[in-house]
């Protein structure tokens, strides 16, 4: 029995460690890599000799070649960044202020600038700024390669009704202190968001 419990505990620890695996890339490095992947689909780049492609892409994009080469190398070694980000999002929101309240947690890496998406179910409208600030800060922590974080909330009592939506840059989201969202969400942190629509403000999200 003790041995089985030990094995089970080890599996749980192993799962959490895998889910919270570091991405190993910065936002800028990821952006460089996505631009590299996009450029490879260009017929003019495909016509070049393989050893000429990286320098040509770097020059066209205005990147320093050594930094560009390092970013591509790191990204290739990082593996499935999207899967890692989404696993990290699920892990980080499994505890804390929004535990049991989140819906969709996704990372879109189809464009040069990655976007993290966090949806949750709101019970009290006055809590929307606090929850949005918390969601953005934790998403930036979980998925450091995202350039933008989109957050939105549904009414828990009427799940098909959206009550809040906004977006924020990851750089701004990292300025949010999750320990102080109750104190500064309304007066400070909500100013970091863009395209805010909240039923608490009389908007129609």
pLDDT digits (tens, 9 = 90+) for 84-134: 999 999 999 999 999 999 999 999 998 888 999 999 999 999 999 999 999
Q: Is the pLDDT of residue 68 over 70?
A: yes
Q: Is the pLDDT of residue 18 over 80?
A: no
Q: Whose structure tokens read 């929004």?
A: 98
Q: How many whole angstroms separate alpha carbon 1 and alpha carbon 124?
A: 45
pLDDT digits (tens, 9 = 90+) for 29-44: 999 999 999 999 999 9
Helix axes of 27-39 and 65-78: crossing angle, nearest 10 degrees: 90
Residue 185 has phi, psi (to 5 degrees) of -55, -50
User: Cβ–Cβ contacts within 10 Å for residue 57, how many?
Assistant: 23
- Of 37, 131, 43, the C-alpha closest to 82 is 37
* SS3 of residue 153 by DSSP: strand
Counting residues of the chain whose pLDDT is more than 70, the rounded percentage is: 90
Helices and strands in the chain, H and E counts: 9, 5
CATH assignment, 81-201: 3.10.310
- Of 34, 41, 69, the C-alpha closest to 55 is 69
Domain boundaries, the chain: 27-78, 81-201
**How high is the pLDDT of residue 11?**
35
Rounded to an integer, the average pLDDT of 65-73 is 94
């Amino acid at each position: 029995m003790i041995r089985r419990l030990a094995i089970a505990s080890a599996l749980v620890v192993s799962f959490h460690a895998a889910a919270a695996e570091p991405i190993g890339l910065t936002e800028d490095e990821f952006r460089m890599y996505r631009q590299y992947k996009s450029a490879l689909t260009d017929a003019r780049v495909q016509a070049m000799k393989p050893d000429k492609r990286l320098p040509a892409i770097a020059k066209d994009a205005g990147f320093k070649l050594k930094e560009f080469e390092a970013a591509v190398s790191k990204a290739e070694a990082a593996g499935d960044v999207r899967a890692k980000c989404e696993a990290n999002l699920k892990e980080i929101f499994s505890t804390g202020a929004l535990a049991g309240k989140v819906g969709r947690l996704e990372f879109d890496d189809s464009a040069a600038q990655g976007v993290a998406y966090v949806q949750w179910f709101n019970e009290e409208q006055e809590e929307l700024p606090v929850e949005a600030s918390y969601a953005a800060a934790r998403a930036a922590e979980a998925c450091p390669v995202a350039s933008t974080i989109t957050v939105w909330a549904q009414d828990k009592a009427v799940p098909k009704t959206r009550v809040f939506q906004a977006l924020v840059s990851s750089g701004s989201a990292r300025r949010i202190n999750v320990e102080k969202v109750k104190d500064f969400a309304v007066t400070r942190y909500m100013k970091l968001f863009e395209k805010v629509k909240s039923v608490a403000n009389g908007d129609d999200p």
